[in-house]
Amino acid sequence: MVASTFLVGALVTQLIIGPEPWYTARIVIPIFGLILGNSMNGIALAIDRLYAETRARRGEVETLLAFGATPWEAVRACVREAVRAGMTPTINSLMVVGLVSLPGMMTGQILGGVDPQEAVRYQIVVMLMIAAAVAIGCLILVGLSYRRLFDADGALDLEVQRSRAN
């Protein structure tokens, strides 16, 4: 989460907003907070779905491993479903922003007297930065977490599969 938050946050503050210096607290704290708060939900959903999908497809994964598939090849479908599940809330919010719902930042700027076109531009930037951070975070964490499903020999780790807390 730190990697995706810092990468997207630094790009947005340096390239789009461009304050001098780029790490100004009144800019960085809200931007990084928005990114971190929104990406946490997507990443948590993705990790939860990875373990649930692997538990549900345990027979399929073990069969693929028995036929010589690598751990990555065995859980690739589970990883795909996990990333899709993590991205779904963000994609849904992107579909309705401005049409069905008016986000708080955009509404606050308009009520504060900012030109509506400027408020919409900032809201587009915010929504795209959240989507990018969620996508990067999901890919990184699911990509690193799938390895915990397997033991050192590349077999499905039954202790991880029994635990519902993971």
**Residues 129 and 93: beta-carbon distance below 8 Å:** no
d(CA 106, CA 116): 8
Grouped pLDDT means (10 residues each) for the chain, 166 residues? 85 81 80 87 93 91 92 94 94 75 71 81 83 92 90 79 56
Query: How many beta carbons lie within 10 A of that of residue 108, not counting itself?
Result: 12
pLDDT at res. 79: 95
Cβ neighbourhood burial of 27 (10 Å; 0-12, 13-18, 19+): middle
pLDDT of the residue at 166: 46
Amino acid identity at 31: I
Measured CA to CA, the distance from residue 146 to residue 110 in angstroms comes to 44
How many domains are there within the chain?
1
- Read off the amino acid at residue 9: G
Structure tokens at 18: 């461009």
Query: Given this model, what pLDDT does residue 101 score?
Result: 62
**What Rg do the C-alpha atoms of the chain give, in angstroms?**
20
Its domain, for residue 137, covers 2-162
